[in-house]
Amino acid sequence: MSDELRVAICGAGGRGRLFGELISQRPEWATVVAVAEPQADLREHFAAEHGLAGDRCYSDWRELLAAGEHIDAVVVTTMDRDHAEPAIAALEAGHHLLLEKPMAPTWEECRRIAAAAEDAPGITAVCHSLRYARPFRLLKEVVDSGRLGQVATVDHLEQVLWWHQAHSFVRGKWGNEARSAFMLLAKSCHDIDFLTYLLGRRCRAVSSFGSLSYFTEDHAPEGSGERCVDCGVEPTCPWSALKLYVDADRESFPARGASPFDHRREAHLAAVSDGDYGRCVWKCDNDVVDHQVVALEYEGGATATLTMTGFTAVGGRRTRVHGTEGVADFSEHGIEVSRYGQGAVERIEIQEEAGAHGGGDRRLADAWLQAIRSGDRSGVATDVQTSLATHRIVFAAEQARRERRVVELDERLNG
């Protein structure tokens, strides 16, 4: 194919801007040539960052795909509930596709995307960035090396920082399932995917428990207001919007979320006075869980647990792999391997890399672009069909939580 790979971005929010930047850092491979974004300020800032003329900027992805522009590849980073239609349309138009996780908020939409991909010539990748991040790949190498013997069980902890839970899943865009997706799908499909990749086996059955236990009006302190700017307990509240978004580093996450482009104090104060991020965390319209545990059984009898909690003082993921010959204790900073009967502990240091998900997003974007340029799909670890298989586990786990029972994965093969 031509040396110039022309990429369009559908959705110019945080993830769209990130992948637009990553692609633009590889000018010898690809060029961002168009954007579709309904929100004018996001669209205009994206256009300015990439030098896009007005006729390359669209308020709707349908206009972009119907415009007849020469586009080779499409990145879909819209809100979760808007993934399916542009993804399917891009595939049917013959474009390569990079699709943000989750694939879609319903199982039927996920299956429709996968069906479209089966008949399409384009190379697909779903943004399960953990598979590409060096720390997690090193853990996979330890497991595959046989140093732990046969894996018996894995304990995996996803620590959603206390303020991140409030920012994204209480006040923010992912707090209400009707607007986004259930928590396990929106946040932890990364983790279910990685556990399945780590074990390299088919999941047989799941069970799950979890709830929205704290961020409800029943727990609002006496004297609290509807908004932090008018609240008697704000000075002592750790979730104070004034502390998190106004009197903070306003150019960094999460503060920049309240006012993405204008970081003057008065702009952030105005944003929390009127916008979603200024609401009391106990008086929002959130309904997704704030903690959840999933138990998984894999072929051969191996088991795994995933614990997602929004009540942690530190972020990141922790994993402990228990094998018949040893244990690997993993954080994103290092791995300790202890083999039974041997006194020495093997320590594998992991140097922190720049970029989101421990550099995983960078490697994901590169793998997708290189696969398109070479025609060799082997470097893409998470195509649509692979992602569909682990999404099936996520939907089964949520079904188990809601119905308070064990769900066999065979139940979801055709349903």
Could you read off the pLDDT of 276-317 as tens digits, one per residue? Answer: 999 999 999 999 999 999 999 999 999 999 999 999 999 999
Contact 330, 319 (CB under 8 A): yes
CA distances from 402 to 182, 208, 209, 395 (A): 11, 8, 8, 11
Task: Kindly report the CATH number assigned to the domain that includes residue 150.
Answer: 3.30.360.10
Q: Does any domain span residue 62?
A: yes
Considering the domain architecture, whether residues 230 and 202 belong to the same structural domain is answered as: no
pLDDT of 3 reads 66
CA distances from 205 to 49, 155, 301, 405 (A): 47, 16, 11, 10
β-bridge mates for residue 384, sequence order = none
Mean pLDDT, rounded, for 165-192:
97
- Tell me how far the alpha carbon of residue 33 is from its chain's centroid: 25
Final residue of a structural domain among 122, 147, 182: 122
* Helix H or strand E encompassing 198: helix 189-199
Considering the domain architecture, whether residues 302 and 392 belong to the same structural domain is answered as: yes
Considering the domain architecture, whether residues 136 and 207 belong to the same structural domain is answered as: yes
Tokens representing residue 398 in the block: 């949520």
Considering the domain architecture, whether residues 204 and 136 belong to the same structural domain is answered as: yes
Bond prior to 27 in cis (omega within 30° of 0): no
Q: Does any domain span residue 347?
A: yes
Contact 74, 90 (CB under 8 A): yes
Residue 94 predicted with pLDDT over 90:
yes
Rg of the chain on CA atoms, in Å? 22
- Tell me how far the alpha carbon of residue 131 is from its chain's centroid: 12
**Mean pLDDT over each residue of the chain, to the nearest integer:** 95
Q: Check residue 100 and report its DSSP letter.
A: P
Query: What's the length of the chain?
Result: 415
- Amino acid (one-letter) located at 79: M
pLDDT of 414 reads 53
As a whole number of angstroms, the distance between CA 16 and CA 415 comes to 32
Q: Check residue 338 and report its DSSP letter.
A: E
Bond prior to 254 in cis (omega within 30° of 0): yes
Considering the domain architecture, whether residues 192 and 338 belong to the same structural domain is answered as: yes
CA atoms within 13 A on the CB side of 124: 28
Contact 125, 134 (CB under 8 A): no
β-bridge mates for residue 31, sequence order = 6
Considering the domain architecture, whether residues 206 and 223 belong to the same structural domain is answered as: no
The predicted-structure confidence for 380-398, as pLDDT tens digits, reads as follows 999 999 999 999 999 999 9
User: What is the strand order of the sheet 30-36 is part of?
Assistant: 57-58, 30-36, 5-10, 73-76, 96-99, 124-126
Considering the domain architecture, whether residues 207 and 296 belong to the same structural domain is answered as: yes
pLDDT of 190 reads 93
Considering the domain architecture, whether residues 47 and 98 belong to the same structural domain is answered as: yes
Contact 187, 307 (CB under 8 A): no
User: pLDDT band at 1, cuts 50/70/90?
Assistant: very low
Closest CA to 361 of 45, 176, 109, 125: 125
As a whole number of angstroms, the distance between CA 249 and CA 259 comes to 12
CA distances from 9 to 16, 35, 43, 59, 360 (A): 7, 5, 10, 12, 19
The predicted-structure confidence for 331-347, as pLDDT tens digits, reads as follows 978 999 999 999 889 99
Q: How many domains does the chain have?
A: 3
Contact 73, 87 (CB under 8 A): no
Contact 50, 151 (CB under 8 A): no
As a whole number of angstroms, the distance between CA 9 and CA 35 comes to 5
Task: State the residue for tokens 């993830």.
Answer: 15
Residue 250 predicted with pLDDT over 70:
yes
Considering the domain architecture, whether residues 52 and 63 belong to the same structural domain is answered as: yes
User: pLDDT band at 355, cuts 50/70/90?
Assistant: low
Mean pLDDT, rounded, for 227-233:
96
The predicted-structure confidence for 34-55, as pLDDT tens digits, reads as follows 999 999 999 999 999 999 999 9
Q: Which residues contact 49 (CB under 8 A, 6 or more apart)?
A: 17, 20, 21
Closest CA to 203 of 408, 411, 16: 408
Final residue of a structural domain among 122, 152, 168: 122
Q: Does any domain span residue 264?
A: yes
Residue 352 predicted with pLDDT over 80:
no
Q: Which residues contact 338 (CB under 8 A, 6 or more apart)?
A: 326, 327, 328, 329, 345, 346
Contact 255, 281 (CB under 8 A): no
Which region holds residue 145: left if phi is over 0, alpha if psi is between -120 and 50, else beta?
alpha
Q: Does any domain span residue 253?
A: yes
Considering the domain architecture, whether residues 253 and 183 belong to the same structural domain is answered as: no
Considering the domain architecture, whether residues 65 and 92 belong to the same structural domain is answered as: yes
As a whole number of angstroms, the distance between CA 393 and CA 331 comes to 24
Q: Does any domain span residue 381?
A: no
Considering the domain architecture, whether residues 200 and 241 belong to the same structural domain is answered as: no
SS3 of residue 1 by DSSP: coil
Residue 136 predicted with pLDDT over 80:
yes
As a whole number of angstroms, the distance between CA 369 and CA 73 comes to 9
Residue 413 predicted with pLDDT over 80:
no
As a whole number of angstroms, the distance between CA 142 and CA 374 comes to 30
The predicted-structure confidence for 362-375, as pLDDT tens digits, reads as follows 999 999 999 999 99
Closest CA to 389 of 207, 179, 200, 208: 200
